[in-house]
Amino acid sequence: MWRNKNVWILLSGEFIAGLGLWLGIIGNLEFMQEKVPSDFLKSLLLAAGLLAGIAVGPLAGRLTDQMSKKTVMLASGFVRAISILFMLIAIQTGSVWWMLVFLVCLQIAAAFYFPALQAAIPLVVAEKDLLQLNGVHMNVSTLSRILGTALAGILLVLIPLYMLYVLSLAAYIILFVFTMFLQFEEKKKELGTNTKSAEGGFKEVFPVIKMLPIVFMTLVMSLIPLLFIGGFNLMVINISELQDSSAIKGWIYTAEGISFMTGAFIIKQINFKFSPYKILFTSSLAIGLSQLLLYFANIPLLTIAAFSLFGFSVGCFFPTAATIFQTKVPKDFHGRFFSFRNMLDRVTFQVVLLLTGFLLDSVGLQLMCVLFGILSIVMTGLFFIKSPQLRAGTESQQNAG
């Protein structure tokens, strides 16, 4: 796998683009802090971008299945780069409206790019290497998040805000150039000779998910980590207040990030000993336990332990889930499926974010974490009981096909 230049192009592009993305995100927060006094208006601005991404999801899925994955990635990369120009205009004019244009364009580009990337990964490496590449890819993404946020914090003190976006633009241009060098074969059927099917949009994907019960199970189980991730920042702020410590925030992010990277790094070795389904169920159970452990969020050591357990669990969970999707869902439907999954994640994230805020105000952090933990463990248990039947149904459908 490591001799494959496409792998290095994807990983290098992800790292550089991730740096650009997080430079931009920190820049957005700085700009809004100066120009938008209301927290509610800030949330509306961010939500508008996410909604734009959700709205184009069906189109993104269809085009990804009809066209070359590389072409879709290049087009979305170009839009990403152009969107930075709108943010530079926003800074120059002090206009929040131009920032809104920037956010909408950026999220639309992301709605096309990520399904195309997920659909391209199985075309780049052999099936036996998928799990390892998914794990390494997520590690690179996490590393770019850690370094990008740290770098942005330092640069904001040293350079003007607009220079942060100039660096972000440079990163997106490098990603665009890297993408041009990707070389992988796509069957003609995948490139659009079967356009009649692709034009059906998501309504063609739902029967496929129904015919593959294990895919449906993994799709629903993927919502379990979002119960934690959706309100992650709000919980960290609440824990900081509960312990009356600003330093705990840094320890939490560091512990979670390192644990995530550790899980994603060793997932290939774990996969040799256990089936993907056992890894999925064990990781989900561990996520539920990490939530229950936050009942003791007033104790710093147990708080760090909870976030470390969560980080390691999702580091194992996400590469395994991605590999199941890439291998079980027919390649003709990859674009629409991953676009649908992207939309589902975005909607769930928003719902969990609002629910977390409500529960933190109404019942408090510790009881909320117990409720989420019980829900995660019950969902895991139900799917574990049903899994033999679901796996048998999937295998019979694939054998019939």
- Whether the predicted pLDDT of 397 surpasses 60: no
Please write the tens of the pLDDT for every residue from 55-79: 887 787 788 778 888 888 899 889 9
Average pLDDT value for the chain = 81
Residue at token pair 């530079």: 88
Domain at 202-401: CATH code: 1.20.1250.20
Residue at token pair 């998040």: 145
| Cα gap 200→195, rounded to integer Å | 9
Query: How high is the pLDDT of residue 290?
Result: 94
Query: How high is the pLDDT of residue 104?
Result: 87
Specify burial of residue 37 (Cβ count, 10 A radius: 0-12, 13-18, 19+).
exposed
Which position has the higher pLDDT, 245 or 197? 245
Q: Which residues lie below 8 Å from residue 281, measured CB to CB, with a gap of 6+?
A: 380, 383, 384, 387
Region 280-309: what's the mean pLDDT? 93
CB 334 within 8 A of CB 65: yes
Axis-axis angle for helices 300-328, 247-273 (nearest 10): 40
> Which of 142-151, 165-174, 335-344: highest mean pLDDT?
165-174
**By percentage, how much of the chain surpasses pLDDT 90?**
13
- Whether the predicted pLDDT of 323 surpasses 70: yes
Largest CA distance in the chain: 63
Q: Where in the chain is the domain with CATH 1.20.1250.20?
A: 1-181, 202-401
Region 134-150: what's the mean pLDDT? 76
> Which of 35-39, 177-181, 207-211: highest mean pLDDT?
177-181
| Cα gap 109→273, rounded to integer Å | 39
- Whether the predicted pLDDT of 100 surpasses 50: yes
Please write the tens of the pLDDT for every residue from 369-396: 999 999 999 989 988 887 776 656 555 5
Residue at token pair 């054998």: 399
Q: Which fold has domain 1-181?
A: Growth Hormone; Chain: A; (1.20.1250)
Query: How high is the pLDDT of residue 319?
Result: 86
Region 113-137: what's the mean pLDDT? 78
Query: How high is the pLDDT of residue 193?
Result: 43
pLDDT band at 111 (very low <50, low <70, confident <90, very high): confident
Region 219-223: what's the mean pLDDT? 88
